[in-house]
Structure 1
């Protein structure tokens, strides 16, 4: 399953007591294609691409943040941006659904469900980040993506102005959380990584299905660790794995951080999950054949 497909469907299913999660049907949540707002200008301001970001970085106000939320809210439930509205928001703000930015957005807003944002989550998150336009939102997500996924150098924080008005004018959004994350990227990425497992896991379940797990690994780990592409190829070739539990999820990150593509750093006596041990055996066989 591609991450874009995952993000645009409902991921919360009924609780399941077995080891394997139940099939996760794509919910038919077809909302009205029109935005439920009176002023077309509000949506026009909120849907500029990042190419004209400098012109559209309007200062944050609670009213602007609420108007942006309203532009994408479900007409049948104005207190929620559902999967369709989430997809439109990402498309309008040039936020690729295939990458990690939608996951970073959910993490920044402390969202409880995949591809859904409640009004309370939105307003609290936008107030913290001081974001009132889609251009500022796109910029913030690009900053965090560059920091946590691309490992680009973080700009040094500017000295905050003594007045709130001057501070708002000097920064496109409140970068306090960004600079805090930059102090320890490894720890912050670990927090994002664990958050994504909990976000994707159905309530009361212990696992996420293997399609969801591999889709998340492909955008969270593969850009940073080349060995992940081989792990994903192994999983696809094996074809027998059904789900990913919390231990496997966490140990996959640890494996990627400690074991090189040559398998240097792998300890056969370590307490690795079965999937990882089987991958190592598979890769050694490939290396032996080569």
Structure 2
């Protein structure tokens, strides 16, 4: 897969994880469907193919057993998660932890499920700590250089850090993760600081999912565009918070 882009490699891994197909087969179906994973998987099954279950990797399973929660053997709990992340040589506050949680389908902070752990590492072809460390390095590179992967992780983060049973994200939590993920995505440090000042001192409201998701689009497609704020369409499908922020910037 060396000739593929990082986005294409991610698509191949997703296809293979969903179908159990070989890398060669996954690449063929994806190329025939413009690298759209959903359409490629549909064509795969429409052709009469059946999913090939992957045998659980003994090494991955043994690693899971090492870190599992003694009170809930189907998960790795908070203590095991901290130990595991540290054994991977990653700081807990590193954004790549969010990328890893996304790839391993972690349901919430401080927890990995057995199914997600095994499935995720199989999709990345890593079954030992050294291989996992290399995979994490690759995730970090993709997070920095692949906008589609970054967007996937960014959207995943909302549900991952949202308090259980709540539909919205507390403002202080949103600010914490915006600082972690979006600070260097804004065109300037000044604009980022103005956003944080605006939401904490003027807007002062918890953050719903559509605001969280669309902030990235606003930063990239409006603030980061050649025309900046002049490209903002107040009649577009933006949440009202962005109308208010644009007005705040134009004072």
Q: Could you say if the C-alpha distance between residues 273 and 123 of structure 1 is closer, same or farther in structure 2, counting changes exceeding 3 Å?
A: same
CA distance in 2, matches of 1:69, 1:224: 35
Q: Does 1:207 align with 2:168?
A: yes
Offset, 1:222: 1.8
Aligned length, in residue pairs: 190
Q: Could you say if the C-alpha distance between residues 99 and 234 of structure 1 is closer, same or farther in structure 2, counting changes exceeding 3 Å?
A: farther
Q: Does 1:236 align with 2:231?
A: no
In terms of fraction of residues, the more helix-rich structure is: 2
CA distance in 1, matches of 2:108, 2:85: 16
Contact 1:248 1:273 in 2 (8 A): yes
Q: Give per-residue Cα distances to partners, 1:71-91, cap 9 Å, x unaligned.
A: 222222232111222112122
5+ residue gaps, structure 2: 1-55
Q: TM-score, normalised by structure 2?
A: 0.66
Q: Give per-residue Cα distances to partners, 1:140-182, cap 9 Å, x unaligned.
A: 222122222x22xxxxxxxxxxxxxxxxxxxxxxxxxxxxxxx
Contact 2:75 2:111 in 1 (8 A): yes
Contact 1:228 1:256 in 2 (8 A): no
SS state at 1:78 partner: coil
Cα RMSD, aligned residues only:
2.4
Q: Does 1:125 align with 2:120?
A: yes
Q: Does 1:80 align with 2:75?
A: yes
Match of 2:244 in 1: 278
CA distance in 1, matches of 2:165, 2:172: 19
Offset, 1:116: 0.4
Q: Give per-residue Cα distances to partners, 1:103-154, cap 9 Å, x unaligned.
A: 1111101222222001121112122222122332232222122222x22xxx
The correspondence for 2:233, drawn from 245, 264, 267, is 267
SS state at 2:218 partner: helix
Q: TM-score, normalised by structure 1?
A: 0.58
SS state at 1:190 partner: helix
Q: Could you say if the C-alpha distance between residues 87 and 233 of structure 1 is closer, same or farther in structure 2, counting changes exceeding 3 Å?
A: farther
5+ residue gaps, structure 1: 1-60, 152-184, 286-290
Stretch deviating more after TM superposition (255-264 or 114-123) = 255-264
